[in-house]
């Protein structure tokens, strides 16, 4: 089981990687655009290097291009930064599969993203993906049973005795994380605010306040004795 932070905003990533048991970082073009619109202006390759410095685990990057050959070129640019730690998120399309097969043969770490169906998961598995990435929230918003679909994908990987892992994304709350995990997710990626919310509870706050008050009483009692 691994937890990844789904962000490219360096301050958020640094804080979450410092405070929480986070294994690595996932990004996509939408996340890169959000960071850019907040004023963080780094070329993608430079941003990738900075993300690698913030966390010791994998950093997922998503090349975008028209056609398999262009996708290969974009993916190789990312791969060259750190082949051991960069994971290439490829689209679950014919071009993505073609590029992925070649990249896998070159030793690249591959994930297929935006995987919604069992046949897509099966295709990614056969293409040598290290991760299959379904979108939990998008499945649910489409009117599908997200937990059931994640569970079916997890079973598919088990019956094939696959080393491919199920990395579930598009999780909007701690409850989503737990649902996806209990449905069969191997790994989870979530935005910084969702990860921070994992440890939040009013009951915990009340208990800590009581402990703090009582500890003050202990200290005062010792001073008076």
> Would the CA dihedral through 109, 110, 113, 118 be positive or negative?
negative
Which is catalytic among the residues 41, 89, 101, 213? 89
Tokens of 130: 């290290």
- Gap between the Cα atoms of 216 and 36, Å rounded: 47
User: Which residue is it, tokens 């935005």?
Assistant: 191
CB 192 within 8 A of CB 13: yes
* Active-site residue flag, 89: yes
| Residue of 142, 124, 141 lying closest to 133 (CA atoms) | 124
Closest CA to 11 of 44, 62, 37, 50: 50
The set of catalytic residues is 89
């Amino acid at each position: 089981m691994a937890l990844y932070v789904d962000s490219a905003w360096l301050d958020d990533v640094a804080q979450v990687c410092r405070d929480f048991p986070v294994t690595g970082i996932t990004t996509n073009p939408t996340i890169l655009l959000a960071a850019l619109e907040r004023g963080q202006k780094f070329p993608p390759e430079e941003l990738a290097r900075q993300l690698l410095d913030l966390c010791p685990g994998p950093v997922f990057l998503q090349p975008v291009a028209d056609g398999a050959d262009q996708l290969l070129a974009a993916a190789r640019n990312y791969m060259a930064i750190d082949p051991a730690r960069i994971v290439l998120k490829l689209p679950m399309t014919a071009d993505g599969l073609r590029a992925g097969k070649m990249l896998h043969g070159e030793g690249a770490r591959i994930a297929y993203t935006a995987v919604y169906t069992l046949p897509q998961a099966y295709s990614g598995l056969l293409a040598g993906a290290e991760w299959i990435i379904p979108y939990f929230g998008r499945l649910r918003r489409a009117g599908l049973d997200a937990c059931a679909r994640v569970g079916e994908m997890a079973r598919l990987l088990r019956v094939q005795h696959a080393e491919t892992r199920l990395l579930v994304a598009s999780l909007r709350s701690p409850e989503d994380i737990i649902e996806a995990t209990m449905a069969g997710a191997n790994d989870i990626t979530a935005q910084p605010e969702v990860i921070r919310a994992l440890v939040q509870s009013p009951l915990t706050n009340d208990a800590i306040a009581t402990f703090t008050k009582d500890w003050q009483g202990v200290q005062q009692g010792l001073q008076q004795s």
